[in-house]
Chains A and B, each alone.
Chain A
């Protein structure tokens, strides 16, 4: 079982600031983290490895300092890490990125065939959710997005059954391997790295691939040239002004506070009463 997990290093969006003068995003001093959605995919891949054995390779495209994200993945238990980095990739949008990553995965396959690819549901800096599906399409893999559980994995029969969140319910899907999976947040909880994996991560010789090593054939499909997306404007939305109300009761007892709070909520949102009555267990 060989699983490739695609991850991205992103600025911690909770700490991002917009430069008050130039209106550009200030990345300096903002900590870089592994895209949180990718961690659910990585953990799911590691769990499959724990159960069925095999190998987990993490793959990332980004600037040289993105090696920190890959080392982090190794500390959690990934076996190998590849950083695809080249100036030629600068300015890539989701189309160019999925082209480059798909090309890199084909190179990985030359060593060991890939049974599954995991990607994050979306990134917190771009929020497009397009790269995972883009890779699947280019590699002609089955695509399973918004997966909330892996029910069954049949290695001999090369098939997988997953639960997928859909509008209004949960779909249970069965498909053949190889496939690409994006995992829903909350599906699992990332493990705590062991000390020996921390050492391994700190010492691991990462593979760094430029565009040639990544097997890029058509350089008009990467970087700015390969990116039809145009950013027309970056702006900081004005903060929503929501007036907080402090709820106070004379007794300050939790029960009285809760009653007061509920009364206020129901007054403001009369529909709530109806919805709660409809969904309450006693209504069936």
Chain B
């Protein structure tokens, strides 16, 4: 029995679900194939949900989506071994509906999203791996699943199979992932009673806090740490570039263990019971690492296409948006009676270029390269900054001018005037 669909979506993460949902809702015959036992069983994220991207797909998602807490406070910490210098932004504005950001638990969120996809009419098949694309010359005409009678055909195949897209690699759309283009992140969820979470972080019911961390917690490797508050738990994680882990011979879990022992972090998770430990790759190569994302009979969305803004820790919103734009492209071509050729699918790239996805990725295109070559941003500066703060805040009879001189001397000793100016220029270029 050979089945033919209008569209096959490979993967049931945020990008695949967004695409499958909109395609099915538009009345197309959609098959979604997921490798995991159920949607969400293999998916990992920090996880912060950015409302805007989902709102454009399911406007009333707040009615029944499993959301943990909306974010009212964002902290940014720069850490050395003993201390951190931080900034905090908290606003009553964030307490006004509709809320902009939420913490979520992906296992629950993905189940909800997938239910919406199935209700929209897409056929979901789990525990099935797509092992190959079926080609007719250069044109993708279907997928080969790893089951007896696993050949299924469609006008368009949307590759939403995540960061390590084996399918794209096999089909030659992607080269092997470069370790300097992917981060490896690990995270833990620690259970704490709701009232403890709220007291510890000074928040009310449903309110949440985000703490982003940079500095010596990554032991000189390019990466960041994070801590999010959920309803009855705290998520804590750290991620660094795979190439750095390889070079430093450090393991991600050792890094996380050490981070949990930091004097500023330990009391925040004290008494918690670890409920979940997960690890995942994050494509952080940025704009320059984006592969070919469309061709005859296929489109690529989400992590598979490297759509992650590492600087702002955004990924799922880029994934959902690219999934939405892919669906809109396919729907538009179908309506106009056009075929799914590479030339016609260029519309997808146009839509992406026009959206925040490509604009943001383009803005930070120099960032990965600059940070790779300049580990001082993760070691020397956090240390200098913390020492400066410590000196200025210790009242010990030394006059402030002498303290400032001492701080300046420290900076110069570590980086030289030329180095400092160079670093300032590099940071400006990275954020330009």
User: If the complex has contacts A31-B37, A202-B124, are A195 and B145 also in contact, measured as CB distance less than 8 A?
Assistant: yes
Contact A29 B128 (CB under 8 A): no
Q: Which residue of A lies closest to B41 (CB)?
A: A31
The answer to the question of A284 belonging to the interface, with a C-beta cut-off of 8 Å to chain B, is no
Instruction: Provide the residues of chain A in CB contact with B152, threshold 8 Å.
Output: 195
The answer to the question of A273 belonging to the interface, with a C-beta cut-off of 8 Å to chain B, is no
Instruction: Provide the residues of chain A in CB contact with B3, threshold 8 Å.
Output: 199
Q: Which residue of A lies closest to B118 (CB)?
A: A202
CB distance from B100 to the nearest CB of A (A): 25
Interface residues on B, range: 20 to 34
User: If the complex has contacts A21-B193, A28-B108, are A194 and B275 also in contact, measured as CB distance less than 8 A?
Assistant: no
Instruction: Provide the residues of chain A in CB contact with B128, threshold 8 Å.
Output: 195, 198
Instruction: Provide the residues of chain B in CB contact with A194, threshold 8 Å.
Output: 147-149
The answer to the question of A20 belonging to the interface, with a C-beta cut-off of 8 Å to chain B, is yes
The answer to the question of B125 belonging to the interface, with a C-beta cut-off of 8 Å to chain A, is yes
A20 and B273 alpha carbons, distance in the complex (Å): 8
CB distance from B233 to the nearest CB of A (A): 11
Q: Which residue of B lies closest to A202 (CB)?
A: B123
The answer to the question of B289 belonging to the interface, with a C-beta cut-off of 8 Å to chain A, is no
CB distance from B152 to the nearest CB of A (A): 7
The answer to the question of B107 belonging to the interface, with a C-beta cut-off of 8 Å to chain A, is yes
CB distance from A51 to the nearest CB of B (A): 19
Contact A196 B1 (CB under 8 A): yes
Instruction: Provide the residues of chain A in CB contact with B1, threshold 8 Å.
Output: 196, 199
The answer to the question of A193 belonging to the interface, with a C-beta cut-off of 8 Å to chain B, is yes
A272 and B128 alpha carbons, distance in the complex (Å): 46
User: If the complex has contacts A20-B191, A29-B108, are A195 and B123 also in contact, measured as CB distance less than 8 A?
Assistant: no
Q: Which of A28, A29, A195, A202 contacts B150, CB < 8 Å?
A: A195
Annotate A173-206 by CB proximity to B: 1 below 8 A, 0 otherwise: 0000000000000000000111110110011000
Q: Which residue of A lies closest to B272 (CB)?
A: A20
Instruction: Provide the residues of chain A in CB contact with B275, threshold 8 Å.
Output: 17
Which one of B1, B107, B148, B193 has the highest number of Cβ atoms from chain A below 10 Å of its Cβ?
B148
Annotate B184-206 by CB proximity to A: 1 below 8 A, 0 otherwise: 00000001010000000000000
Q: Which of B37, B105, B273 contacts A29, CB < 8 Å?
A: B105
User: If the complex has contacts A20-B273, A29-B107, A203-B123, are A198 and B38 also in contact, measured as CB distance less than 8 A?
Assistant: no
Contact A195 B107 (CB under 8 A): no
Instruction: Provide the residues of chain B in CB contact with A31, threshold 8 Å.
Output: 37-38, 41
CB distance from A254 to the nearest CB of B (A): 25
A31 and B42 alpha carbons, distance in the complex (Å): 12
CB distance from B288 to the nearest CB of A (A): 38
Annotate B88-126 by CB proximity to A: 1 below 8 A, 0 otherwise: 000000000000000001011000000000000001110
CB distance from B60 to the nearest CB of A (A): 23
A196 and B147 alpha carbons, distance in the complex (Å): 9
Please provide the chain B residues from 196 to 228 with a CB less than 8 Å away from any CB of chain A in the complex: none
A47 and B44 alpha carbons, distance in the complex (Å): 39
Instruction: Provide the residues of chain A in CB contact with B125, threshold 8 Å.
Output: 195, 198-199, 202
A203 and B118 alpha carbons, distance in the complex (Å): 11
A29 and B125 alpha carbons, distance in the complex (Å): 20
Annotate A5-31 by CB proximity to B: 1 below 8 A, 0 otherwise: 000000000000100110000001101
Please provide the chain B residues from 239 to 282 with a CB less than 8 Å away from any CB of chain A in the complex: 273, 275
Interface residues on A, range: 10 to 19
Q: Which residue of A lies closest to B122 (CB)?
A: A202
Instruction: Provide the residues of chain A in CB contact with B193, threshold 8 Å.
Output: 20-21
User: If the complex has contacts A198-B128, A199-B125, are A192 and B147 also in contact, measured as CB distance less than 8 A?
Assistant: yes
Contact B191 A193 (CB under 8 A): no
A202 and B151 alpha carbons, distance in the complex (Å): 17
A199 and B3 alpha carbons, distance in the complex (Å): 9
Contact B108 A195 (CB under 8 A): no
A199 and B105 alpha carbons, distance in the complex (Å): 29
CB distance from B121 to the nearest CB of A (A): 11
Instruction: Provide the residues of chain A in CB contact with B123, threshold 8 Å.
Output: 199, 202-203
Which one of A198, A199, A203 has the highest number of Cβ atoms from chain B below 10 Å of its Cβ?
A198
Instruction: Provide the residues of chain A in CB contact with B38, threshold 8 Å.
Output: 31
A178 and B124 alpha carbons, distance in the complex (Å): 38
CB distance from B290 to the nearest CB of A (A): 33
Q: Which residue of B lies closest to A191 (CB)?
A: B148
Please provide the chain B residues from 1 to 28 with a CB less than 8 Å away from any CB of chain A in the complex: 1, 3
A21 and B272 alpha carbons, distance in the complex (Å): 12
A151 and B237 alpha carbons, distance in the complex (Å): 56
Q: Which of A193, A202, A203 contacts B147, CB < 8 Å?
A: A193
A198 and B124 alpha carbons, distance in the complex (Å): 9
Q: Which residue of A lies closest to B148 (CB)?
A: A194
A29 and B41 alpha carbons, distance in the complex (Å): 10
Q: Which residue of A lies closest to B152 (CB)?
A: A195
Q: Which residue of B lies closest to A198 (CB)?
A: B125
Q: Which of B41, B105, B148, B191 contacts A195, CB < 8 Å?
A: B148
A21 and B191 alpha carbons, distance in the complex (Å): 10
CB distance from B126 to the nearest CB of A (A): 9
CB distance from B134 to the nearest CB of A (A): 13
A203 and B3 alpha carbons, distance in the complex (Å): 13
Q: Which residue of A lies closest to B33 (CB)?
A: A198
Instruction: Provide the residues of chain B in CB contact with A193, threshold 8 Å.
Output: 147
Please provide the chain A residues from 14 to 60 with a CB less than 8 Å away from any CB of chain B in the complex: 17, 20-21, 28-29, 31
Contact A198 B147 (CB under 8 A): yes
Q: Which residue of A lies closest to B108 (CB)?
A: A29
A77 and B152 alpha carbons, distance in the complex (Å): 20
Q: Which residue of B lies closest to A68 (CB)?
A: B38
A34 and B115 alpha carbons, distance in the complex (Å): 20
Instruction: Provide the residues of chain A in CB contact with B108, threshold 8 Å.
Output: 28-29
CB distance from B197 to the nearest CB of A (A): 13
Query: Besides A28-B108, A195-B151, A203-B123, 19 other CB < 8 A contacts?
Result: A17-B275, A20-B193, A29-B108, A31-B38, A31-B41, A192-B147, A192-B148, A195-B147, A195-B148, A195-B149, A195-B150, A195-B152, A196-B1, A198-B125, A199-B1, A199-B123, A199-B125, A202-B123, A202-B125
Chain B interfacial positions (CB closer than 8 Å to A):
1, 3, 37-38, 41, 105, 107-108, 123-125, 128, 145, 147-152, 191, 193, 273, 275
6 closest residue pairs by CB, A with B: A194-B148, A195-B149, A195-B147, A195-B150, A196-B1, A198-B125
A-B contact pairs, 14 of them (CB 8 A): A21-B193, A29-B108, A193-B147, A194-B148, A195-B125, A195-B147, A195-B148, A195-B149, A195-B150, A195-B151, A198-B128, A199-B123, A202-B125, A203-B123
